[in-house]
Structure 1
């Protein structure tokens, strides 16, 4: 699957947020990359530019391509409720994101790799599609023969208490469960989803 493989620090500096995790480069240079990055004379962004930046930030954060994102937005729009919240819930319900949230992998890209390499099961069946959408009640677990993988054991060992109230985790069996879709206040990412809705409404 095509995905962004370029310099992550440059993207984090572009949005001035550690969207790929803690970043020392961002701490040292908290301004956009490029020749005029540190200049205070940068032009004021248009409304469209601000909305587009927010969409790009979400795509980079969750590792979603343009076509996937567009399809997710259509799906979110067709559901009952607030479109922006629906969109974030669908992104959170992706299998790769849930593997990351459970602490099986330290990053979303790491979680995507575990899923693609067939280390993860959903409801007792191997699923190797990172974008697979989970439903409430689905059980996510590490395959028996994959439980000894160093990458998984190290990540799980560094895991603290369950930080996400929409997920359940059993450290002994390396099994998690999606209890429900998260409400908006529970999603920790700094995202202004209303800007994305406005962008698609044009």
Structure 2
């Protein structure tokens, strides 16, 4: 299935929660979810959110996480299978794998205002990991990895602006940013406490294991 390229604010309205897919716009009064928190569709604000079945609740949770991280169904199932083979709680393992994606780390460090923008930067070869070129957004970082913006991109106005506004989001404790040298270090693996989005990961595990 192709990647979704339609209006991103529509996804937030469908899930009934702000997913922060549009970067800084999500923090302003221009946010479409703040203006129109009802579901998208031709019937407008008269629509009523129907009560979901147990299956529907789990499906929506899975869809929400896919949309937050911008991944396909095939990738999501792959991460589920990896998570169930790892020691520990499968739900926590799943979120840890998603957080370790290079595009997510670039976003978390503040080099991009959204994961979609971070994915584009990685695809276009803006970053090195441990001194080596990496252009795969799904690359999984590990403790000790150094993510560095290539020198020729350090005057990019969008990246500079993003680094100035990263304080609004905050940088998780498992990452460390050296803004002066355009570098980030993975200090440790992310824990469940580092993921502040409203996610019920157990529902996703239940959806795939049914």
- TM-score, normalised to structure 1, is 0.94
Give CA deviations for 1:91-131 in whole Å, capped at 9, x if unaligned.
Answer: 00000000000000111011001101100110001100111
The secondary structure found in structure 2 opposite 1:130 is: coil
Q: What is the number of residues matched between the two proteins?
A: 202
| Residue equivalent to 2:198 | 190
When the two chains are superposed, the root-mean-square deviation of aligned CA atoms in Å is 1.8
Runs of 4+ in 1 over 6 A off after TM superposition: none
Query: CA offset at residue 78 of structure 1?
Result: 0.3
Q: Which residue of structure 2 lines up, in the alignment, with residue 75 of structure 1?
A: 82
CA contact (8 A) 1:73 1:87 kept: yes
* Residues 25-65 of structure 1 deviation map (CA, whole Å, 9 limit, x = unaligned): 11111111124553475542111011001000000100110
Q: 1:146 aligns with which of 121, 143, 153?
A: 153
Q: Distance in 1 between matches of 2:179 and 2:145?
A: 17
Partners of 2:200 and 2:58 in 1: how far apart? Answer: 9
Consecutive unaligned residues in structure 2, runs of 5 or more? none
Residues 159 and 52 of structure 1: CA distance in aligned 2, closer, same or farther (over 3 Å): same
Q: Which residue of 2 aligns with 1:199?
A: 207
Q: Distance in 2 between matches of 1:153 and 1:91?
A: 25
Distance in structure 2 (CA, Å) of the matches to 1:73 and 1:4: 21
Q: Which moved more, 1:143-152 or 1:48-57?
A: 143-152
Which has the larger share of helix? 2
CA distance in 2, matches of 1:42, 1:146: 45
